[in-house]
Amino acid sequence: MSERGGNGGTREPVLAAGLSPEEAGALAHPSRRRIAEALGSAGAGLTVAALAQRVELHPNAVRQHLDVLQRAGVVVAAPSAPTGRRGRPSTAYALAAPHAVAAVGHRELVRLLLEFVRRMPAGEEDIEAFGWDQGRHLVTGEPQAGALAASFAGLGFAPEEVTSEGERRAGAMDLRLRACPFKDAVLAEGGHLICALHRGLVRGALERIDAGAELAVFEPKDPVTAGCRVLVTGLGRHDGGGEAAAPPGLRTSSPG
């Protein structure tokens, strides 16, 4: 799929080939494909209202299509930049990654698990500790709060930030992971270990992003419907408390 540029040339494809079955299925609908194309050609995220105008659909229809695209890991959502107006900011949508994010996520998970297996046979706490260590390498570039959601997006989790203005001012970030690229592994025997690894990865990434931040809630959901919750608190807090605590012992929700 490609677009024609204004000067008659051909732009790079908005959506690349090699999509996962979930992504391909979501994009099989012509309206959802138009929405994805509109997001791919936009320089920044678009609100539902802006998308509805571009693709000439009712906003309610656009919301329904965006929900399908989010669950497939095609798009991500985050609050729009503050405008100074009162009330909760609108949500902006963007392509998560046009290059088969789910497949990339699976390859990365396999790499981590193989490395861990070579080291030692271990239990859930050991796996979380290993994830903690590896999570520091997930964040590239200048560490910032948005890097955590970007890391999730790169692995295919389709994160959506639902943080309220009050929570944001208090240094919190509330995310919902709208897709689970590892659902087959999570559904298999011992799948709770995948969640333990993921929990450790989050904590390791947070240590790199902001040493004062804490993973307050890690709430796994059914991997088929997704929606896992990640609540981070203490962003922007620099109390000089020294080294981060050891991996085991954080009070988080356990997989069901």
- Measured torsion, CA atoms of residues 195, 200, 201, 202, in degrees rounded to the nearest 10: 90
What are 98's two structure tokens? 């046009």
The domain tally of the chain equals: 2
Domain at 54, CATH number = 1.10.10.10
Digit-coded pLDDT (tens) for 59-101: 999 999 999 998 887 888 877 665 556 656 688 898 876 444 4
151 burial (CB, 10 Å; 0-12 / 13-18 / 19+) is buried
Alpha carbon of 171 to those of 98, 128, 221, 236, 238: distances in Å? 31, 25, 25, 6, 11
Query: What's the pLDDT at 217?
Result: 96
Last residue of a domain, one of 95, 119, 136: 95
Q: What is the pLDDT of residue 203?
A: 94
* Residue 234 φ/ψ, nearest 5 degrees: 80, 15
The answer to whether residues 190 and 90 belong to one domain is no
Contact in structure between 139 and 147 (CB atoms under 8 Å):
yes
Q: Please tell me the pTM assigned to this model.
A: 0.57
pLDDT on residue 6: 38
Residue 122 in domain = yes
Nearest CA-CA partner of 180 in 72, 83, 87: 72
Order the strands of the 173-177 sheet from edge to edge.
91-95, 75-79, 159-161, 173-177, 228-233, 214-219
72 and 118 in a single domain? The answer is: no
Shared domain check, 121 and 52: no
Residues 81 and 173 in one domain: no
In whole angstroms, give the CA distance from residue 179 to residue 173. 18
List, run by run, the mean pLDDT of 10-residue segments along the chain (256 residues): 38 46 77 86 84 93 92 80 62 71 53 62 83 84 74 78 90 89 76 87 91 93 90 76 41 41
Contact, 8 vs 29, CB < 8 A?
Answer: no
Q: Is residue 241 part of a domain?
A: no
To the nearest whole number, what is the mean pLDDT of the chain?
75
Q: Which domain holds residue 61?
A: 21-95
- What pLDDT score does 54 carry? 92
In terms of Cα–Cα distance, which of 39, 63, 77, 71 is closest to 160?
77
In a domain, 222, yes or no: yes
Q: Are residues 108 and 158 in the same domain?
A: yes
Tokens of 22: 């979930």
